[in-house]
């Protein structure tokens, strides 16, 4: 069972990597993101970390934010790591732009003071 301090650290890692991923796609559309392989690789790594960190959260946190599909968040890392040959840049861009804002809102709510965190 994850401890409260382990869950809080994982929330911080999730938030840092959401914000970094969003920086990587800022000002781009899917078409230009596809052409920027460095940003694609970096953004995919952010999604891997988000996935792994989500596995370290306690059930109470996940229960308070049932609007987040925690199972999909955790499972996505398996695709990024083990199914890397089928990961499409357009889907990574779409995930960051469309799915991460809701996750970020849940994490910021949970952290309470997380709105001023910086990527480290």
pLDDT, one tens digit per residue, over 49-64 is 999 999 999 999 999 9
**Burial classification of residue 27, based on how many CB atoms lie within 10 Å of its CB (0-12 exposed, 13-18 middle, 19 or more buried):** exposed
pTM score: 0.89
Quote the pLDDT of residue 113. Answer: 62
Taken in order 44, 45, 47, 52, the sign of the CA dihedral is positive
DSSP letter for 57, please: S
Distance, in Å, from the CA atom of 117 to the CA atom of 34, rounded to the nearest integer, reads 28
Domain layout of the chain by residue ranges: 4-111
Cβ contact 71:41 at 8 Å: no
Confidence of residue 2 (pLDDT cuts 50, 70, 90): low
* SS3 at position 120: coil
pLDDT, one tens digit per residue, over 85-105 is 999 999 999 999 999 999 999
Distance, in Å, from the CA atom of 63 to the CA atom of 84, rounded to the nearest integer, reads 30
Flag whether pLDDT at 70 surpasses 60. yes
């Amino acid at each position: 069972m994850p401890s409260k301090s382990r869950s809080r650290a994982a929330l911080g890692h999730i938030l840092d990597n959401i914000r970094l991923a969003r920086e990587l796609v800022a000002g781009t559309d899917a078409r230009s993101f596809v052409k920027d392989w460095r940003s694609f690789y970096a953004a995919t790594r952010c999604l891997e970390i988000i996935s792994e960190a989500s596995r370290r959260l306690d059930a109470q946190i996940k229960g308070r934010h049932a609007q987040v599909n925690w199972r999909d968040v955790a499972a996505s890392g398996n695709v990024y790591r083990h199914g890397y040959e089928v990961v499409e840049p357009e889907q990574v861009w779409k995930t960051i732009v469309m799915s991460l804002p809701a996750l970020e809102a849940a994490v910021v709510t949970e952290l309470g003071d997380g709105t001023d965190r910086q990527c480290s």
